[in-house]
Amino acid sequence: MTLPPVLRLVVRNFASNFDAISVAVRFGQPAVTIVVLGTMFSAYISGQVTGTSSYTAFLVPGMIAFQMVSGGVVSGNLFWLDRRWAMVEQIFSGPFLRSEYLAGLVLTTLLFSMLGVGLMILVAVPLIGLPALSPLALASVLATVGLGGIFFAGLLIALGTRLRSANAYFSIQSFLQLFLIFLSTVYYPVRAGKTPWLLADVVQANPLSFAADAIRAAFSGTLNGTVALGLGVLGLLAALSFGAAVWGFRTMNLGPIQ
């Protein structure tokens, strides 16, 4: 039986681009962060500050939210490398639609992000116990990470269609990744009167903060306005960045890049 074109592309994306080391690093880094940073900081940052039972319990939803960035980076880099090594052109000259290639990247992002979510929860269980997630809460967590992944993947793919140098692409990608994670509520809470107002505003406007806050709310068992807001904002951003990626595909020069 022959798989549909999009699934063949997804299988190819996983088969050709994920070696053991890169997968270990991509998943291992946030997992180690939960274990090491969570354990170390739990002694210094009380649950009163974070509003959770412990700092680790605060960090876990943050690292789950971070999977949206990881998933986006995977697809963004995959697309860039496909361009760099002329596989985009090769695939486009084969039995695929360009929309299928893009759909394959999105699906790869989603699968990678979901895999990351599962792994982060597994790592967290010995430290904070099994989160009491209702099916709806779990669905909202997955939807948040999925939409966030599409947002970040779309952003990087759109960039990848424009940039013609690896240095430029990877510099911007690293900067965006750092910017998103450090100026977000993944590692620390933003408290009125405690965080400088400008920094607090930037952090609150960060899509990763919307994701982290929404997932924290879901983890606490309250599917409140924070979850809806997170989903809404990330859905809008995902639509915008996916639109930018489509536009980038429409106008992309397929010629060689370096």
Partner 1 sequence: MAAVVGSEVVLRTEDLGFSYTPGHYAVRHLDLEMHRGEVLGLLGRNGAGKTTTVRLLTTLIPPTEGTAYVLGEDLRKAGRALRSRMGVVLQSDSLDFVTVERNLVLYAFLWGVPRETAKARAEEMLELFELGHVRRRKPWAISGGERRRFQVARELMHDMDLLFLDEPTVGLDAVARRRILRYLKERARGGLSIVFTTHILHEADALCDRIAVLHQGQLLAVDTADALKRRYGGSRELRVTFAQALPLALGRSFEEGLKEKGADPLPTHDPPTAEKSVFAFRSPRPEELLPWIVQWGVAQSHEIEELSLTEPTLEGAFLGMVGADEEGESEGPPGSAAPPSARPGGFGWGRK
Window 9 to 48, contacts with partner 1 (CB under 8 A): 9, 11-12, 15-17, 19
223 binds partner 1 (CB under 8 A): no
Residue of 93, 126, 132, 196 that binds partner 1 (CB under 8 A): 93
Cα three-residue angle 35-120-73, rounded to 5 degrees: 110
Residue 183 CA, chain-centre distance (Å), reads: 15
Can you read off the two tokens belonging to residue 2? 């022959």
97 binds partner 1 (CB under 8 A): yes
86 binds partner 1 (CB under 8 A): yes
Task: Quote the least distance from Cβ 249 to partner 1, whole Å.
Answer: 6
Cα–Cα distance measured from residue 206 to residue 131, given in angstroms and rounded to the nearest whole number? 25
Residue of 47, 89, 172, 223 that binds partner 1 (CB under 8 A): 89
92 binds partner 1 (CB under 8 A): yes
Can you read off the two tokens belonging to residue 109? 């992002």
Cα three-residue angle 203-204-207, rounded to 5 degrees: 90
80 binds partner 1 (CB under 8 A): no
User: DSSP letters of 184-233?
Assistant: SSSSS---TTTS-HHHHHHHHH-HHHHHHHHHHHHHTT---HHHHHHHHH
258 binds partner 1 (CB under 8 A): no
What does the binding site for partner 1 look like in residue numbers (CB under 8 A)?
2-3, 5, 8-9, 11-12, 15-17, 19, 81, 85-87, 89-99, 246, 249-256
